[in-house]
Chain A
Amino acid sequence: MGINPRFILFLFLLCSVFIIFFSAIFGAVSIDFSAMTNALSKLVFKSELNLTERIFVELRLPRVLLAFSTGAILALGGSIMQSLFRNPIVEPGLIGTSSGAAFGAAVFIVFGASLNVQMTAFALPVFAFLGALLASILVFSFSYQKTGMNVLGILLIGVALNALFISGIGFLSYISRDPQARSITFWSLGSLSGANWQNTFVVWVTLALSFAGLTPLNKQLQLFSLGEENALYLGVNVSQLRIKVMLINVIMVSIATAFVGVISFVGLIIPHIYRFIAGSSTRFSLINTAMLGGMFLCSADLLARVLFAPAELPIGVVTSLVGVPVFIILLKRTHVL
């Protein structure tokens, strides 16, 4: 295709607002428009909220916003990593980040009580974040060479460490009791049910800072499509850019994953879908890709909540169920397959 990116920016902004409100309405409890406006005005005037209004303000709204920001981070991560590695099948968790986070979470779920960890709301995310960081540091240090980082080396070591951490998670599930094993499974498939204003705020700040950090790097990153040698000849400090981009990716994906668990496929398919819509144009590509990821995860979370309401599906199940067919249809349409 190849629609004007400025038009897409405008369209996506409208759609984002619409989808955020639309997903806030539906769920185990439906919230109509007047309840929303009542809740918001009562918030402003600090008066007492009724039950429906409290569900909207304390549960639904942070959840929808967390879904949007997490989707945006995963899509951004996928987009920049695909450019960096010059490879369309790369996703942000590839360098060990997601499986490391899941392993950290599993360690906490199984051993948290016996390790006498303080059971605060942030205990599990901290363990997951440390796991993600540990995995990424391991991948970096194994693939580090004096002459610079070898891209293929990073990919291979990332794949190997992913396998190692997944075995570790399997082992922890095997030795744990049934409810713990279920928690591990639930976490490994992702869930936004733990959303509150605190973690939503943290993820939005992460998104904003990462976006601000990536914007000045985007032009140089685009030059990677010509190959690293040509990028260098166009004035890009290749090794420095590689480190900056991977660092931003690791930090933002670790933080998002720490709160919501492993959500697969968003980072892989959203950049492809965006390229399908916008063509190869690079203008506004970062913000548009981020918004598309946000809208996708918001919609996926809505489905996860309402399909078997009041029970919830793990969101990773929904993103794969929706994402895989869409992805394959796109590949067929663009004649890649």
Chain B
Amino acid sequence: MSFDVQFHHVSVDIAKTRILNDISFSMKPGLLTMVLGANGSGKSTLLKTLAKNIPVSSGEVMINQSPLSKIQLSDFAKYRAVLTQQTTMSFQMKVEEIVLMGRYPHFNQVPNSIDLKLVEEALKLFELDEFRNRKYDTLSGGEQQRVQFARVYVQIAHITIGGILLLDEPLTFLDVKHQVSFLHLLRKIVLGKQLTCLMVIHDINLAMNYGDYFLFLKDGELLAKGLKSEVQNADLINMVFELNATMIQHKDLNFFSF
């Protein structure tokens, strides 16, 4: 089952401060939506609102025509997965045990054969087979993020077509090589499974080259939204980030220089 997501005039207040103001947009399955904006613009709050971590103060988030506030957290966890910046484990664990945790919302006491099969597939897809018995703490930052990505993927992997995937600055602690391979894999999964995907990202050039749809936030307001052709211009970037960037064309790709 694939999911349409809609924000209807959503505002969020935290400790009486308005963090998001009157945000409206919609997301379609199979498209990678990139959220861009300066620090403190409300990007993470937007993602956490959609993840059901922070409640809306007014407006409504709709998932396939039903309000998010009416969906049980434990039900939501069966088709919505979230990858955060970096995850430190409080206890030493093996890679395969961490990936299996993605299946915890689906079984009661003991994982069934489907859970175990999905974990096996994820270990192969994310090229973690050789690490499966390694302790998480002994992996590099890039490998750790791949383990967490596999865990997040496996949470919604039972849905043949569809699912909601949210990523909160997952590239922060990765080098350029790992950033690119991460985005390649992400695109492949989003397209293949027709996921409804939202990603908070800092790198404008990477976002433009891998995203399908874009949201630009500034001081809690949604300044612009649209497809690449609609938003890829220096004026908008300069307004959002208060910069003097120029756009450079190389073959059929555009890049910003700051």
Contacts and interface: CB of A to CB of B under 8 A. Distances in A.
Contacts of B75: 235
Contacts of A222: 101, 104
A143 B252 CA distance: 58
A229 B73 contact: no
Given A88-B91, A230-B87, A235 B101 contact: no
Contacts of B15: 147
A233 B90 contact: no
Given A232-B53, A279-B94, A280-B91, A226 B77 contact: no
Contact of A219 (B87, B90, B104, B155): B104
A235 B81 CA distance: 10
Interface residues of A, number: 27
Interface in A195-243: 219-220, 222-227, 229-230, 232-237
Given A234-B155, A280-B94, A281-B97, A227 B88 contact: yes
A116 interface: no
A88 to B, nearest CB: 7
Contacts of B76: 235
29 contacts: A83-B90, A86-B90, A88-B90, A88-B91, A219-B104, A220-B104, A222-B101, A225-B91, A226-B89, A226-B98, A227-B84, A227-B87, A227-B88, A232-B53, A232-B73, A233-B51, A233-B53, A233-B80, A233-B84, A234-B77, A234-B102, A235-B74, A275-B91, A275-B92, A279-B94, A280-B93, A280-B97, A281-B97, A282-B97
Contact of A235 (B77, B98, B109): B77
Interface of B: 15, 51, 53, 73-78, 80-82, 84, 87-94, 97-98, 101-102, 104-105, 108-110, 155
A233 B91 contact: no
A120 B87 CA distance: 54
A118 interface: no
Interface string A76-88: 0000000100111
Interface of A: 83, 86-88, 147, 219-220, 222-227, 229-230, 232-237, 275, 279-283
Nearest to B92: A280
A236 B72 CA distance: 11
B94 A223 contact: no
B109 A87 contact: no
Contacts of B108: 219
A308 B75 CA distance: 60
Given A219-B104, A235-B105, A281-B97, A229 B84 contact: yes
A222 B90 CA distance: 10
A16 to B, nearest CB: 23
A334 B84 CA distance: 29
3 nearest A-B pairs in the assembled complex, by CB-CB distance: A235-B77, A86-B90, A235-B74
